[in-house]
Chains A and B, each alone.
Chain A
């Protein structure tokens, strides 16, 4: 242990060499850095493509008729935009403003989903209510994996983790919007409520995950 007023350059030679060799080996492994913008662009494209695929599967399987997709185009656009902003912000270097915008866009998307169902009564479905939450979870796995991979690329921060969890969960909201016609109470509890719980779970789960890098 170095005294508080000690020499900053007192780095043991063996340690200096060990750390240097490890860093140099890493540099030789990947000599050219990929700019974060390119990485973020790829991640956004991957998640949006997955969302489009999920919608396509819903339409083909008859879960959400193509006409319904057309009717809800504006709402789906808001959800896709929130997804893109969220994924971009967690791939980018840490910025409270950028992450704040991501969380705000997710909140706007959530409110839009709730308002779109406002006034509609709770219709009885043939399947149990919780099935919507399970479906939500199932389609969120892939975007959550992308979000986790991006999160591990930088130092963990609660705001990044919340933005990541919300962005990944919007895919579930998107599919729920097409595949479920139940009323506002069901959407508030089993869609939006579950979305928030899943984001909180993502926050807690990622806290213990060791990042690949501690960069901001």
Chain B
């Protein structure tokens, strides 16, 4: 890793804020990019994996996300949340992947065609874990995005609004509708609801 100009230690950027790193990255600083990549690649992959419900698709979309992150850094406006901007790119790339997959007539909501995670099968109740995965995959993309960003990535509704280009109220409505739909898909028994909450958090 190349040391940053002006930094005493090459490890200094690890502690730098996203805003500082982004400013350096926009000036072509590879070290700043390295830190941002190390900070967010994993969590973006997790988001895409859940959004697409498809490992191979998530891998391709992760690459598209970071290529876009590099290519479009001139579109980043100082003062905006870097994390929010990166997740906006990931959400757009994910939606595009879903649209293309839908165009290929693959039915994501079909339980028979949905991928069943190996980890889910190894869970204490593999049947229930599978039900949760399938129900989650059956949610409309917009609702799924809002739930993933809020519940799993820990975004506030204001941050989700910034990432998705909607209002905070609209983000809340999407998440609320998603939870309602999940409840319908999973049934109303308290046991199932408890497991679903655990599965999502």
Contact residues in B for A6 (Cβ distance below 8 Å): 46, 119
* Interface contact B41-A214, CB-CB below 8 Å: no
Instruction: Judge if B92 is at the interface, Cβ distance under 8 Å.
Output: yes
A205 CB within 8 Å of chain B = no
Identify which of residues 1-46 in chain A touch chain B, using a CB-to-CB cut-off of 8 Å.
1-11, 15-16, 18-20, 22-24, 26-28, 30-36, 39
B200 touching A213, Cβ below 8 Å = no
Knowing A3-B120, A153-B72, A216-B85, the reply to whether A15 touches B45 (Cβ < 8 A) is yes
Interfacial chain A residues near B68, Cβ < 8 Å: 212-215
The answer to whether B28 touches A33, judged by C-beta atoms less than 8 angstroms apart, is yes
- Chain A residue numbers with a CB within 8 Å of B132 are 4
Q: Is the CB of B200 within 8 A of A19?
A: no
Residues of A contacting B45 in the complex (Cβ-Cβ under 8 angstroms) = 8, 10-11, 15
- Restricting to B92-116, which residues have a CB under 8 Å from any CB of A? 92-93, 96, 115-116
* B contact residues, range: 35 or more
What secondary structure prevails in chain A residues at the interface with B? Answer: loop
Q: Are A213 and B117 in contact, CB atoms less than 8 angstroms apart?
A: no
The interface residues of chain B lying within 8 Å CB-to-CB of A33 are 26-28, 73-74
Is A155 part of the binding interface, using a Cβ–Cβ cutoff of 8 Å?
yes
Which of chain B's residues have a CB closer than 8 A to the CB of A1?
A: 49, 53-55, 115-120, 133
How far, in whole Å, are A10 and B68 apart by their CA atoms in the complex? 22
State the CA gap A186–B55 with chains docked (Å).
Answer: 55
Q: Does B136 contact A (CB under 8 A)?
A: yes
Which size class do A's interface residues fall under? 35 or more
Contact A2-B49, Cβ < 8 Å, known A27-B28, A31-B28, A215-B68? yes
- Cβ of A156 and Cβ of B96 under 8 Å apart? yes
With contact pairs A2-B50, A6-B46 given, residues A215 and B72 touching in the complex (Cβ less than 8 Å): yes
Q: Give 10 A-B pairs besides A32-B27, A214-B96, A215-B71 with Cβ atoms closer than 8 angstroms.
A: A2-B50, A5-B152, A8-B47, A10-B46, A24-B33, A27-B70, A210-B96, A214-B93, A215-B85, A215-B92
Please report A residues at the B interface, Cβ cutoff 8 Å: 1-11, 15-16, 18-20, 22-24, 26-28, 30-36, 39, 93-94, 96, 153-157, 210-216
Instruction: List 19 A-B pairs, Cβ < 8 Å.
Output: A1-B53, A1-B54, A2-B50, A3-B117, A3-B120, A8-B45, A8-B47, A11-B41, A15-B45, A15-B62, A16-B42, A22-B67, A27-B30, A31-B28, A33-B26, A213-B68, A213-B89, A215-B68, A216-B89
